[in-house]
Each structure stands twice: as C-alpha cells, then as structure tokens.
Structure 1
Amino acid sequence: MINATAPFRFVLLAPLAIYLTILAAPAHAAACGSSAGGFGKWLAGFRQQAAGQGISASAIDAGLGGVTYDPRIIRLDRNQKSFKLSFEQFYARRVGSALVGRARARLRKHAALFDRIEHTFGVPREIVVSIWGLETNFGADTSGKYSIFRSLATLAYDCRRSPFFTGQLMDALRIIDDAHMRPEELRGGWAGEIGQTQFLPTPYVKFAVDFDGDGRKDLIHSVPDVLASTANFLKGHGWQAGQSWDPGSANYAVIRDWNRAQVYQRTISVMASRLR
C-alpha cells in the first residue's frame, strides 16, 4: 500500500502501502546523510533508539545485524517515472483483459473468503481484488528481491525522507519482535513494501490482521491475512460500507489513502467498477 506515497510507489509512492506517519515518526538518533560515509554511526545511534523504545535486543540484532548502505535504493528513489503518465497511459499499461480475467477467477475461487471480509470490514471485494492484482498480480510478483531492513535503513539514513522511513524501520523491527514474521522473510520491494498488497511496516503494525487464525499476521503467504488486512486498512481510513467509490465520493478519497498517486487511485476505482 508515501508523500511519501508508495509504488504506495512514491510519488513514494505504500503500499500501501501509503501511509503518512511523518509527524509521528521518532527523531533520528544521528544526522542523516547523502553517502555511505556516516551510515555506520547513524545505524549505531538508531539501534540505541530502538532499544529505548522497548524493542528487544534479539530483534534489533536479527533485523539490523550486518545491514549496510545500499546506493541502488537511492537511485531507485530518485528515478520514479511511471506515475508521471496520464491516466489513460497508466491504465493501459497496468490493466488489461488478462488481469481482469485473473481478478474474476480469484473472486470465484475465494468467494467465501470475500463474503467474510465484506461482512467484517464493509469493503467490497472488487476494491480489494483490484488492489491485490495491481500491486503484485495476485501475489505472483512478490519476488523478494530486496532486503526490507537494508532498504529501509538506507532510506531512513538518507536525508530526503529520513523521519518517515525511520518510523518504518522501527516498525519493521516490531514485526519480527512480535513474531509475525521471521527476519529472513522480510524481503520485498525496494522501498520496504511487504507482501502481496505491498504494506509498508507502519500500516502493517496498525492494520494487519490474523484472519486465518494461526496466530500470525502473515502478509506474504496467507491469502486470508493479505486480503483482510487490505480491507482493514481501508476501513481504518474511513471506508463507508455500501457507498459509491466513484470520483468525488468519500470512498474515492479513502482509495487515495492507499496510494496518493492520482493515476493509481483512479485505476483502482475504474478496475473495481469494471469488475462490479
């Protein structure tokens, strides 16, 4: 699911996972930087800060042990072009008949699950399945190419959005401290997005739910957890059950909380309407 908005993706740009926590993010323990030179000192200060917030030493060591600065992440952060397309260009690039067909197949396959989600959260299945398809092609594109901790530490140290990503990094540590995921599982998008609908860690901590009842909030492997958590995010941002999601509606504004890129917001709305 950053204004940080993320692929959320920056315009990040979440996941969102996109979720504004800049004001709530903790102050960083050492000066930010624009090169690898001061990263080690910054990371040592952040580790102390995390311990001061009650995160266990074992979680800090597991998440941050051996983490180094990654200049690739900075290059990716500075080179985001897809959200500069027109809506027509963006929609044509991201939504085709094949994606819509796969969405319809998922709606049939998981009909009982979507019934539960709609009853519990009041968010229509067409919206949830559209987000699922657009973010990762229904989980097929979660390659886990990047270390979440290395990416977030790099972006937290970088001066452009240091407070925002410092908060995300802290919450990534909380995810493993609470045993919802193992450190080695935290691999995902270059900006720290996790799982099949690309939550950043802060909305993960706030909105992820255990919908399959196994005691973990698993947004990588558990389809019930993935879809219910996505619906819970939207409910938590004010989704009005039974109401329109067309442009100008309150629910259309909630979609913007998922991703602040206007072309992405409109694409979710239009794809969901096509599925309705």
Structure 2
Amino acid sequence: MKALITLLLGAGISVNALAAKPEFTDYITTLKQEARQLGISEQTLEKAFANVSYKPRAVKADRNQPEKKLTLDEYLVKALPEWRVKQAKNLYTKHYRELQRVGKLYGVQPRFIVALWGIESSFGKLTGGYNIIDALSTLAYDGRREAFFRQETMAALTILEQGHIQVEEMKGSWAGAMGQCQFMPSSFLSFAQDGNGDGRKDIWDTESDVFASAANYLKQSGWDDNYTWGREVQVPDSISDAMVGRQQDKAKKLQEWNRLGVRKTNGRPLPKLDKDIDAWLIMPDDRNGRAYLIYNNYQVLMKWNRSYYFGLAVSRLADRIKED
C-alpha cells in the first residue's frame, strides 16, 4: 500500500479520499469475480490480469481538463494541417477499391470513413500506448466513474475471450479507447466488424476491419449516404439565439431556413433538394464565430464524439477529400 500511496501523491490525488478503499490488488479480485459471473474463462482472466498495474497518469488525465479552450478556427488549424489533408487524399486513393466496397455495403460515403480515421488516430499512427486492462481497471478503482469503467473492463475482457486480440497487443488511450478508430470496448462489441473475413475483428492493425467497423458504427447510428453533413452559412441578425442548437425541437426544413434569410457563405440561396430535409443551425463559438446548418449525418457524428469541433473537423476533412 505504501508504494501505491507514493504513486497517488505523485499524481496529485488525495490519499484521504481513498482511506476506505481496498488495495488495488484486492479490487482486481472483485473485477475477476464479476467477470466469472459473466462467463469469462479462467484462462482469459489469468492472461488479462497477469501483469496488471495501477496507472496514476490515467487518473490524472481523467481529472485534468485543458486550461485554455481553443476557438473553432484555432482547433481546425491544428486538426487539419495541409499535410493531413494531403495524406487523407493519398490514402483515399490507395484504398479506393476497398473503401468503395465497404461504403456500398454499409451505405456510407468512403470519404467520411477516411476522415474519421484521420481525425481519430491520424490514420492509425496515434492510437495510444496504454494496456487497456491496466487503464480501465485503474479508472474503475479510482471511483469517479466506477460503474462506467467497470462495465468497459468487462467488455474488454469479453473481447479477449472472443479471441480478437491478445492482451499484450490490446493497446489504446488512457481512457480505454482502442485501435485506429478509437472504439471503447463496449462500442467494439456493438459495432466492430470483420472486414476481411479472417474471423477476427482487428481495429488495431487490419485496415479492412477499421473501415468496416467505422462504417458500421455510422450506419447503425442512422447515417444516410443520400446526403452530406451540412454546410457553413451566413446568418442574418433576425435569427434569434433561441433558434440555435441541435435539439430536435429546433429543426427546420432547409427551405424554411432559406425563407428566414440563411444563405451559403457566398451569399447565394440554400440548395433545393428533391426532398426537403431537416436542418439545425449551430454556432459552436456563439455569434462570435462561424455558423453552420447541419443535417442528420452530423447528428450521427455527434454520437461518435459529442464535440462540435470534432464533428466539424471530420466533416471539413471529408469535404477536402471530395475536392479532388
């Protein structure tokens, strides 16, 4: 316990808050008991927890928020440097045949698959180096979101039980997001796909599985490849703040926004589609920044990640891929 206290102090965590806690090793015993009740085998448990260790840096990362909030323009500059746009286009071309197959199978435009891949993990280069069982066990033990992280730990053990990955290769972020599409274990169980038909769902090293898994997530979440995500717009002063937001009751038909004076960035009227669709007006930086009309596909991206900035980075990268 003394060694654990030293680690906690080094991470800036109050020891008093853990006074009534069991030791980490005892907590792991309770995780194993829960896993057994879910049908996880002793062989899997032995391998998963053989070298498990507490990770204070994961707790510190979970508790610390960035001090400076970037504006949308600042964020997009960082998220979409020209080298990333160029790489996205090159990879779209390189994997064109497979992306078209996956896109047709799941009903998702391939450029959005590549854009998600690029923003989530820089096309598989930045996937995180934490052992997933270490990270999830640590965050469950910490207790701030114990129920959530215990559930994710059980999901991770299920993935190991199913044989999709070996525990030493099951790497990800401090929060437990895994692989090139950064799925949490529960999302893996719900959406991961065996894209190349080898019997495994490998979102770490198999690009076909990454593409199929991302596309399946979007499709199962309501994606419609008949439409795009939305567009940046000009908004007249007559539009009130009460009309801004992505809540269902703030949806208006595209042509209604047109009648209200919302225009393309070049000042022209909004497009007339064969079928008028719902659209929402968002201003991520309030009236001080950019305004967008978003469609249902953008709402789907918000299920993947609840950040407006993330959704716009993915959407803009997808648009840049389309430019060629």
User: Which band: TM-score by shorter chain?
Assistant: 0.7 to 0.9
- Please list, as runs of the form range in 1=range in 2, the aligned pairs for 1:110-189 lying within 5 A after superposition: 110-142=95-127, 144-189=128-173
Indicate how the Cα distance of structure 1 residues 266 and 63 shifts in structure 2: closer, same or farther if over 3 A, else same: same
Paired residue for 1:99, among 69, 84, 88? 84
- For residues 195 and 19 of structure 2, what CA distance do their matches in structure 1 show? 41
Bigger relative CO (Cα 8 Å, ≥ 6 apart)? 1
Indicate how the Cα distance of structure 1 residues 124 and 45 shifts in structure 2: closer, same or farther if over 3 A, else same: same
Q: Confirm or deny: 8 A CA contact 1:55 1:173 kept in the other structure.
A: yes
1:211 counterpart = 2:195? yes
Where 2:88 maps in the other structure, the secondary structure is: helix
Paired residue for 1:223, among 181, 184, 207? 207
Indicate how the Cα distance of structure 1 residues 159 and 120 shifts in structure 2: closer, same or farther if over 3 A, else same: same
Would you say how many aligned residue pairs link Structure 1 and Structure 2?
A: 244
Where 2:158 maps in the other structure, the secondary structure is: helix
Indicate how the Cα distance of structure 1 residues 33 and 231 shifts in structure 2: closer, same or farther if over 3 A, else same: farther
> Cα RMSD (Å) of the superposition?
1.9
Indicate how the Cα distance of structure 1 residues 82 and 149 shifts in structure 2: closer, same or farther if over 3 A, else same: farther
Paired residue for 1:63, among 32, 48, 56? 48
Which moves more between the two structures, 60-69 or 101-110?
60-69
- For residues 188 and 158 of structure 1, what CA distance do their matches in structure 2 show? 19
> Runs of 4+ in structure 1 displaced over 3 angstroms?
32-38
Per-residue CA deviation, residues 73-120 of structure 1 (Å, 9 max, x unaligned), is 111112232893221111111111110000000111111111111111
Q: Confirm or deny: 8 A CA contact 1:83 1:263 kept in the other structure.
A: no
Gaps of 5+ in 1: 1-31
The percent identity for this pair of structures is: 36
Deviation at 1:39, TM superposition (A): 2.2
Where 2:40 maps in the other structure, the secondary structure is: coil
Alignment-derived partner of residue 272 in structure 1: 318
Alignment-derived partner of residue 84 in structure 1: 69
- For residues 198 and 244 of structure 1, what CA distance do their matches in structure 2 show? 23
Q: Confirm or deny: 8 A CA contact 1:208 1:217 kept in the other structure.
A: yes
Largest Rg, 1 or 2: 2
- For residues 215 and 34 of structure 2, what CA distance do their matches in structure 1 show? 32
Deviation at 1:35, TM superposition (A): 9.5
Alignment-derived partner of residue 227 in structure 2: 243
- For residues 201 and 207 of structure 2, what CA distance do their matches in structure 1 show? 11
1:46 counterpart = 2:92? no
Alignment-derived partner of residue 253 in structure 1: 299
Q: Confirm or deny: 8 A CA contact 1:83 1:261 kept in the other structure.
A: no
Deviation at 1:186, TM superposition (A): 0.6
Q: Confirm or deny: 8 A CA contact 1:34 1:159 kept in the other structure.
A: no
- For residues 134 and 19 of structure 2, what CA distance do their matches in structure 1 show? 15
